[in-house]
Amino acid sequence: MQYNSGRDFRWLLLRPWVFIPRLLQVLWTLGGLVLVLLLRGGSKSSEVQLKLAKGILNTLTGLGPCFIKVGQALSTRPDLVRRDWLDELTRLQDDLPSFTHALALERIEQELGAPAHELFAEFPSEPIAAASLGQVYKARLEGQAWVAVKVQRPNLTFILRRDLVLIRMLGVLTAPLLPLNLGFGLGEIIDEFGRSLFEEIDYEQEADNAERFAALFAENEAVYVPRVERMLSSQRVLTTTWIDGAKMRDSAELQALQLDPASLIRTGVICGLQQLLEFGYFHADPHPGNLFALSGRTGDLGHVGYVDFGMMDSISDSDRLTLTGAVVHLINGDFASLAADFQNLGFLSPTADLAPIIPALEEVLGGSLGDSVGSFNFKAITDRFSELMFDYPFRVPARFALIIRAVVSQEGLALRLDPQFRIIAVAYPYVARRLLAGDTAEMRDKLLEVIFDTDGRLRLDRLENLLAVVGQDAPAPGRELLPVAGAGLRLLLSRKGADLRKRLLLTLIRDDRLRTDDVRALLGLLGRTFGPRRIAGGLLQQLNPLAAA
């Protein structure tokens, strides 16, 4: 149940009766698909494009779980895949062919030690959904409680071992011909994918993941995680409480159910940022089939239910803090520090000369940000960054494969519901609020690092950038600034803010005299940002959101 590329390669080579027919099948199938797309992909006929989409769907489905996973990733990218293909690819998330019901019943009895009709008060005769690795039944326990029972596909370990060897082999052989500059090699990226895929088919590990994820969001009313029924779960069968909600894949459908897509997107993005930048533990597969829109609302956050915790990953504290700092450096246009962040994260080698890289980063990232954080788009940045990677020694560390997948999937989901959405427009204010509130020791250290220069002087321009970002693009900036003002004041007056008070006093009193110009500038900034009229408007809206006008 563990991935090992070298072991599995030797295992498959010793079985040429398995290896050669499957290799020929994959090459023939994918080659035929590529040829058809080259010949007919440019057609303006909607009927032709629909046939091509169905062809892609059928090809990936026919090739099995590994290839279905590739299609699932593409189905979250409306900016990469034609809209008329997207609807078909979305079916790869939870509308796949099911396997025989008798095999599912047999698997349940093998894994749980008793037939389904003895374990459940009611068990259906067919699944409610089928996914790449298993299928789900809606069953009932004694006492009217409904549960989701996920049963793994038969012979899955063998299929994954076989196909991952072939995908890795073809990837390594064709990598020099592809327009990629990954630094670490495509093989290592595929290894990361294989490792996560084998973790995903261990349902006992998934149960542990679900419970850990639920504990992290236990105090967050906007995020719901189903409870694991441990007595009815095993390595290949997983039973959890049932979620009644709508799939987050169509804004019109959500609006028809009186659900607000914007508030749901906001919850998903903020939840994703918390996973990456606060908890260091994240859901790496947030596609529309794994997220449910639920009724209810907490402030400006819609209620979202998460399922399928097979593909999870962790990020080190060092990487997590560096990523947080990178967002802050991007806010402040500090591209020298941003280049150092890339170096610390492994995107640049420790010996790389940063001097020529800094202006290139400023050109790519500074130009893309424009006058508003809302103009930032990961797809646009990725396109321009790919050009940089051929001119400068950038590389993609293998450990970031799932992080990139998670962020790209999250943005793809949001773009599907709102094509105008920009993920950084939510990420910027989130990071700025955390930094200004100084709610943890690491955030307080990062705040001191950002707003004071190496000589200990206050960088008012950076402080102003952070405060401006908090309310930027918000319908009522005062409402966003109110909690920041309160948290900042509490920090300044508390024991935890001792270092901040000391640094402020040292920067305002230099050479044995009060620097009145610095004091005036600081008071002016605070007055502009937290003026009575602005804060009163925010307070009014917080008390009565309908009074925003």
- pLDDT of residue 457 exceeding 90, the answer is no
How many Cα atoms sit within 13 Å of 120 on the Cβ side?
A: 25
- CA dihedral 277→279→284→287, nearest 10 degrees, is -80
pLDDT, residue 537, reads: 55
**Residue 494: Cβ within 10 Å count:** 12
Give residues with Cβ within 8 angstroms of 306, minimum separation 6. Answer: 213, 223, 224, 225, 283, 286, 290, 291, 292
More confident residue, 549 or 261: 261
**Residue 481: Cβ within 10 Å count:** 24
More confident residue, 127 or 531: 127
- 222: DSSP letter: T
d(CA 142, CA 122): 8
pLDDT, residue 373, reads: 45
pLDDT, residue 112, reads: 95
- 348: DSSP letter: B
Q: What is the value of pTM for the model shown?
A: 0.79
Domain ranges of the chain: 5-92, 441-543
Q: Assess contact for 426 and 269: CB atoms under 8 A.
A: yes
Confidence of residue 165 (pLDDT cuts 50, 70, 90): very high
Most confident range (mean pLDDT) of 170-179, 197-206, 347-356 is: 197-206
pLDDT, residue 495, reads: 83
Confidence of residue 14 (pLDDT cuts 50, 70, 90): very high
pLDDT, residue 206, reads: 94
Q: Could you report the per-residue pLDDT of 226-258, keeping only the tens digit for each?
A: 999 999 999 999 999 999 999 888 888 899 999
Amino acid identity for residue 34 in this structure? V
pLDDT, residue 456, reads: 74
- pLDDT of residue 90 exceeding 90, the answer is no
pLDDT, residue 76, reads: 60
> Which of 436, 430, 535, 526 is CA-nearest to residue 490?
436
* Sign of the alpha-carbon dihedral angle for 181, 421, 273, 363: positive
- pLDDT of residue 183 exceeding 50, the answer is no
**Residues assigned a catalytic role:** 285
Give residues with Cβ within 8 angstroms of 48, minimum separation 6. Answer: 40
Mean pLDDT of the chain: 81
More confident residue, 121 or 170: 121
Average pLDDT of 89-94? 70
Burial (0-12, 13-18, 19+ Cβ within 10 Å), 285: buried
More confident residue, 428 or 546: 428
- pLDDT of residue 95 exceeding 90, the answer is no
Say if strands 281-283 and 246-247 run parallel, antiparallel, or are unpaired.
unpaired
Tokens of 434: 């955390």
Average pLDDT of 444-452? 80
- pLDDT of residue 132 exceeding 90, the answer is no
Q: Assess contact for 466 and 331: CB atoms under 8 A.
A: yes
User: Per-residue b/e over 58-80, b at no fewer than 16 CB within 10 Å?
Assistant: ebbbebbbbbbbebbbbbbbbbe
d(CA 286, CA 271): 11
